[in-house]
Amino acid sequence: MQNKAVIAGLDEVGRGPWAGPIIACAYIEITEVTHLKITDSKKMNQAQRELAYEQLVKHGHYGIGSAEAHEIDALGLLKANQLAFKRAIQALPIRPDLILIDGRDRTSDDTTLNIPHKSFIRGDSLHKVISCASIIAKVTRDRLMTDYSQIYPKYRFEDHKGYGTRAHINAIKKHGACPIHRLSFRPVVQQSLF
């Protein structure tokens, strides 16, 4: 009897925000979650994502990788994204045989640690294992940004998660940038007092 290939889904969240890290997740499904609708995290509301997250972490192996704001500033968005991918793969407790990645041309051989991989545009809508990674990455980042709101309450990160909202612009204008802001992002520089 031949062993089944171990397939990991890989996705990230947080490329667009002005503050906080990129969070990537690599996910390997061990037992199937059949009683929940699993889809692209952007198509789910917060309550649905939270419920799915609690089940997915019980039914699979996952690794989380991040690229912090200062790494995004130093490396640029693409290389920082690849760094988060690499860290997520390295954090897996087992090595996959194949990695399915959301996006196009968003990884490198170094990132995948010489593991075969395929990229798919809208992969988080096409492949369940990528959807699982998408959900875990999104919930992880949202929780982290809520934690940051306790450290930097003036920015209300719990509300906008670092994205470019009117309230976020006003907070940067009033208080300047904080340590988790991406100083290489033009809107932060334009609005900051520093």
pLDDT at 1: 42
The domains located in the chain, with CATH, are 7-149 (3.30.420.10)
Considering the entire predicted model, what is its pTM?
A: 0.91
Cβ within 8 Å of residue 4, ≥6 positions away: none
- On the question of pLDDT at 65 being above 60, the answer is yes
Residue appearing with tokens 């204008």: 173
DSSP for the chain, written as a single string:
-PPPP-EEEEEEE-SS-SBS-EEEEEEEESS---SS----GGGS-HHHHHHHHHHHHHHEEEEEEEE-HHHHHHH-HHHHHHHHHHHHHHHSSS--SEEEEESSS---TTTTTT--EEEETTHHHH-HHHHHHHHHHHHHHHHHHHHHHHHSGGG-HHHHTT---HHHHHHHHHH---TTB-TTSHHHHHH---
Q: What is the mean pLDDT of residues 165-169?
A: 94
pLDDT tens for 147-165 read: 999 999 999 999 999 999 9
Burial of residue 79 (CB within 10 Å: 0-12, 13-18, 19+) is: middle
CA 149 from chain centre, in angstroms, equals: 18
- On the question of pLDDT at 193 being above 60, the answer is no
- On the question of pLDDT at 191 being above 80, the answer is no
- On the question of pLDDT at 34 being above 70, the answer is no
Q: What is the mean pLDDT of residues 3-12?
A: 91
pLDDT tens for 110-142 read: 777 789 988 877 767 668 899 999 999 999 999
pLDDT at 109: 67
Q: What are phi and psi of 126, to 5 degrees?
A: -95, -35
pLDDT at 2: 54
Cβ within 8 Å of residue 150, ≥6 positions away: none
pLDDT tens for 77-87 read: 999 999 999 99
Give me the chain's average pLDDT, please. 89
Sheet containing strand 117-120, edge to edge, reads: 60-67, 22-29, 7-13, 98-102, 117-120
Q: What is the mean pLDDT of residues 15-39?
A: 87
